[in-house]
């Protein structure tokens, strides 16, 4: 009887132990699965965050490169247009070496200056190197109704650029005249440089269209 009772107790203990072991394994598997899912979710969040950072960095880098390329294109276009302006300056500078053409041009520039100022007496500023030909042009431009003009010997325009060299850092003048009132308060600049700059500014859209359209 005692032996039977012991076997019964032992069997109950074994069954209870098996139940506890099964339950513990189930709880362990559930906990392990929860930890695993939690870690997967954390890794996915971390991956998504890193992907987002990489995407942002790529967009920023692309934007930088795009802007840099645009700036290079704009600079190249500006250099091309400025180069065209320098060619025009060089051609104007060469014009003053043709005495006949230059004198004829000076007479027209003087007439325009006279008509603009409408003063009885005017001063004419020119380059030191042009003084003699400007005096000739003043004499040739004199006629009835024209003002009394004289060369301003106190203020001269900058000298012409060296042949084939147009340097933005050096103040030069390609030719032409500046006509002023006797007190210097009214000024009409008819230098070749100013005329070219006016034409350049007015025709810049057309120039750009011709070069880059």
How many domains are there within the chain? 1
Q: Say if CB 179 and CB 113 are below 8 A apart.
A: yes
Q: What is the DSSP letter of 213?
A: -
Q: Say if CB 80 and CB 211 are below 8 A apart.
A: yes
**How high is the pLDDT of residue 96?**
87
**How high is the pLDDT of residue 167?**
64
pLDDT digits (tens, 9 = 90+) for 37-66: 888 888 888 888 898 899 889 998 998 998
Task: Report the chain's terminal Cα–Cα distance, integer Å.
Answer: 113
Range of the domain at 171: 1-213
Residues in the chain: 213
Q: Say if CB 151 and CB 124 are below 8 A apart.
A: yes
**How high is the pLDDT of residue 168?**
64
The residue written with tokens 């007190």 in the block is 183
Q: Which candidate, 162, 166, 171, 194, places its Cα nearest to that of 97?
A: 162
157 vs 172: CA distance, rounded Å: 8
- DSSP-assigned beta bridge partners for residue 181: 122
Mean pLDDT by 10 residues, the chain (213 residues): 67 75 80 83 88 90 90 83 81 89 96 95 96 96 88 94 70 94 95 92 84 77
According to DSSP, the β-strands at 121-125 and 176-181 are: antiparallel
Q: What is the CATH number of the domain that holds 66?
A: 3.30.2320.30
Q: Which candidate, 124, 142, 143, places its Cα nearest to that of 132?
A: 124
The residue written with tokens 């007015």 in the block is 202
Read off the pTM: 0.65
């Amino acid at each position: 009887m005692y032996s039977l009772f012991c076997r019964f107790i032992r069997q109950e203990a074994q069954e209870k132990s098996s139940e506890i072991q099964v339950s513990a394994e189930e709880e362990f598997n559930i906990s392990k699965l929860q930890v695993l899912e939690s870690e997967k979710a954390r890794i996915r969040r971390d991956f998504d965050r890193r992907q987002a950072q990489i995407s942002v960095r790529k967009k920023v880098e692309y934007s930088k490169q795009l802007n840099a390329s645009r700036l290079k294109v704009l600079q190249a276009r500006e250099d091309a247009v400025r180069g065209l302006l320098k060619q025009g300056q060089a051609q104007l500078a060469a014009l003053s070496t043709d005495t006949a053409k230059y004198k004829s041009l000076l007479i027209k520039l003087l007439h325009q200056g006279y008509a603009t100022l409408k003063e009885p007496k005017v001063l004419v500023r020119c380059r030191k190197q042009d003084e003699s030909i400007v005096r000739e042009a003043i004499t040739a431009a004199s006629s009835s109704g024209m003002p009394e003009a004289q060369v301003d010997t106190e203020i001269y325009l900058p000298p012409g650029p060296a042949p084939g060299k147009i340097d933005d850092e050096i103040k030069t003048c390609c030719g032409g005249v500046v006509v002023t009132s006797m007190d210097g308060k009214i000024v009409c600049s008819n230098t070749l440089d100013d005329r070219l700059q006016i034409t350049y500014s007015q025709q810049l859209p057309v120039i750009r269209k011709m070069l880059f359209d």
